[in-house]
Structure 1
Amino acid sequence: MKSIETIATVTKDGKITAQLPLDIPEGEHQVVIVIDEKPLLEKAERKDQKLPLKFSAYPVGLVSESLTFRREDLYAND
């Protein structure tokens, strides 16, 4: 069993079209569809036409444990 999250298009006559990964074999498959009641466009219109961005935490090592951001460390005395 494989879980796939994608965006699907639903037509007025109730047909659904979705893009799947290429590793899914051709043929009939049993699927489970969970659909949000509001289309993405309606959600975007409520949020100034923009969909929310998804960011994940990824440590890049720019801050060391010994580094502090005290005023004394950031600015000189002059």
Structure 2
Amino acid sequence: MKSIETIATVTKDGKITAQLPLDIAEGEHKVVIVIDEKLLTEKTENKEKKAHLKFYAYPVGLVSESLTFRREDLYTND
């Protein structure tokens, strides 16, 4: 007995198609199918709602807060 985890495609008429490893012999096999509905809803939600990344600046004391990084402060006229 082998346990295989793969993604299967189910058509409107109830037929299922799945890709199996090549070491499975051709012919009829007794199989157990478990439908993970959570996986389907997560995929749909992830496609619809992609959260934007938010970056925040946290003072860690490496530079003084009065220091700026304007071009005039970084470069001289030389």
Secondary structure of 1:47's aligned partner = helix
C-alpha separation in 2, matches of 1:39 and 1:16: 17
Secondary structure of 1:9's aligned partner = strand
1:46 maps to: 45
Q: Deviations over 1:23-56 (max 9, x none)?
A: 000000000000023563x422312459xxxxxx
| Aligned AA (1:47) | N
RMSD across aligned C-alpha pairs, in angstroms? Answer: 2.2
C-alpha separation in 2, matches of 1:14 and 1:30: 18
Residue pairs, 1:54-65, within 5 angstroms:
none
Change (3 A) 1:21 1:44: same
Normalization by structure 1: what TM-score? 0.53
1:9 maps to: 9
1:33 maps to: 33
1:61 maps to: none
Secondary structure of 1:33's aligned partner = coil
Normalization by structure 2: what TM-score? 0.53
Matched pairs, number: 49
More helix as a share of residues? 2
Q: Percent identity at matched positions?
A: 78
